[in-house]
């Protein structure tokens, strides 16, 4: 499949050298970036709200969660109807984990399914965080989406959220058939911290010799704690919404007293990245975490992996949740849906003579 970016730029097949060249070019030409016009309106509103609040790093987890719930309310307004949405729980060693299945077909047939972990810096977020975006993705792709309400830091620091995600993924593979899920057509994915958990889960499954995932969907993920990247230097100052200081505070809450950013289970860019499922990787041009996605794409391609890389111009971190207001988010959703569909839904064979 190669490394492509048809939603915004087409890069062809490339590895880490190409990623490095991209970063250097962007740094030299920083003054030429341009906000998407619709993104500019949303960002202005975000910055106005941020100015009236204390910095994220000085807030309690409860305060962060209340702020986040308030922020995402507008993003999730006017959701499209989906034929079947069902809330349930998955049993794990520590607790029953709440999950929500979005079924875009609703006919009872086994459903190819994306196991999805929400973003929120491992500290905020729940089953409602990406509700509108996941409804759209399910409808566009024809793929079921199982959203997972994994445990959160700081009450449950690393590795608890990751271990819970791994348990849920294994349970779905072993038991999903009795719940309308096609266990031979499973994908894993997430956004931001959820993309970190999805990638780390896929690595853990690979290391255990479990090769049943068909593909990965990794949306503007955080894959290492290091901030020595062009995108952090250019866009991590807080003028583009989510910034480097906030990311660092969330890392501290996730790792707790005993976790280490050198642990490849916490920072997947430090892990071996060979022999993983094909990946669709999404990045926003003006996101401090953009270069995490670029580096990951380069590393995966360098190991012989298949990567579909989508970088959307003029948008900030979290843009895929803003489908109600951003055309670029809706276009990216359609692009990702096509990638999922090609990976999980086989085309019917052509009739003879057609």
Residue pair 119/86 in contact (Cβ under 8 Å)? The answer is no
DSSP 252-270: HHHHTTT--TT-TTTSGGG
Q: Which residues are registered as beta bridge partners of 96?
A: 91
Least Cα distance to 145 among 178, 172, 174 occurs for 172
Q: Which listed residue (204, 317, 321, 339) is catalytic?
A: 317
Q: Which listed residue (126, 131, 287, 291) is catalytic?
A: 287
Residue 30 exposure: Cα atoms within 13 Å on the Cβ side: 11
Distance between CA 305 and CA 282 in Å, rounded? 16
Distance between CA 243 and CA 331 in Å, rounded? 25
Buried b (16+ CB within 10 A) or exposed e, 80-91: eebebbeeeebe
Distance between CA 71 and CA 43 in Å, rounded? 12
- Please tell me whether the peptide bond between 159 and the residue prior to it is cis, using omega within 30 degrees of 0: yes
Would you give the distance in Å from CA 234 to the centre of its chain?
A: 22
13 catalytic, yes or no? no
What's the DSSP call for residue 108?
S
Tokens of 348: 């019917």
Element (H, E) at 295: helix 290-302
Q: Which listed residue (8, 129, 147, 192) is catalytic?
A: 192
Q: Which residues are registered as beta bridge partners of 115?
A: 146, 188
Distance between CA 47 and CA 66 in Å, rounded? 17
Distance between CA 123 and CA 198 in Å, rounded? 16
Distance between CA 4 and CA 297 in Å, rounded? 10
Q: Which residues are registered as beta bridge partners of 90?
A: 97
287 catalytic, yes or no? yes
317 catalytic, yes or no? yes
Which residues form the catalytic set? Answer: 192, 287, 317
């Amino acid at each position: 499949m190669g490394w492509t970016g048809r939603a915004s730029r087409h890069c062809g097949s490339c590895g880490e050298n190409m990623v490095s060249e991209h970063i250097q070019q962007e740094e030299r030409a920083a003054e030429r970036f341009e906000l998407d016009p619709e993104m500019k309106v949303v960002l202005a509103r975000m910055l106005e709200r941020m100015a009236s609040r204390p910095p994220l790093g000085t807030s309690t987890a409860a305060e962060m969660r209340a702020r986040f719930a308030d922020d995402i309310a507008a993003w999730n307004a006017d959701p499209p109807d989906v034929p079947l949405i069902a809330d349930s729980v998955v049993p794990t060693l520590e607790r029953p984990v709440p999950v929500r299945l979005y079924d875009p077909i609703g006919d009872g047939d086994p459903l190819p399914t994306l196991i999805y972990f929400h973003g929120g810096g491992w500290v905020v977020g729940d089953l409602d965080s990406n509700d509108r975006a996941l409804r759209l993705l399910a409808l566009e792709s024809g793929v079921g989406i199982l959203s997972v309400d994994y445990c959160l830091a700081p009450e449950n620091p690393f590795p608890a959220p990751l271990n819970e995600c791994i348990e849920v993924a294994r349970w779905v593979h072993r038991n999903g058939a009795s719940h309308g899920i096609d266990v031979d057509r499973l994908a894993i994915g997430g956004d931001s911290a959820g993309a970190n958990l999805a990638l780390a889960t896929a690595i853990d499954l690979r290391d255990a010799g479990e090769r049943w995932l068909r593909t990965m969907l990794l949306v503007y993920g955080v894959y290492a704690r290091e901030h020595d990247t062009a995108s952090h230097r250019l866009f991590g100052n807080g003028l583009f919404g989510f910034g480097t200081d906030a990311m660092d505070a969330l890392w501290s809450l996730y790792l707790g007293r005993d976790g280490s950013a050198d642990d490849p289970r916490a920072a997947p860019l430090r892990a071996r990245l060979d022999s993983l499922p094909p990946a669709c990787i999404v990045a926003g041009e003006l996101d401090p975490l953009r270069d995490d996605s670029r580096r990951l794409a380069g590393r995966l391609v360098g190991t012989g992996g298949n990567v579909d890389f989508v970088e959307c111009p003029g948008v900030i971190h979290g843009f895929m949740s803003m489908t109600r207001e951003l055309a670029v988010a809706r276009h990216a959703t359609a692009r990702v849906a096509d990638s999922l569909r090609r990976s999980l839904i086989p085309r019917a064979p052509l009739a003879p003579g057609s």
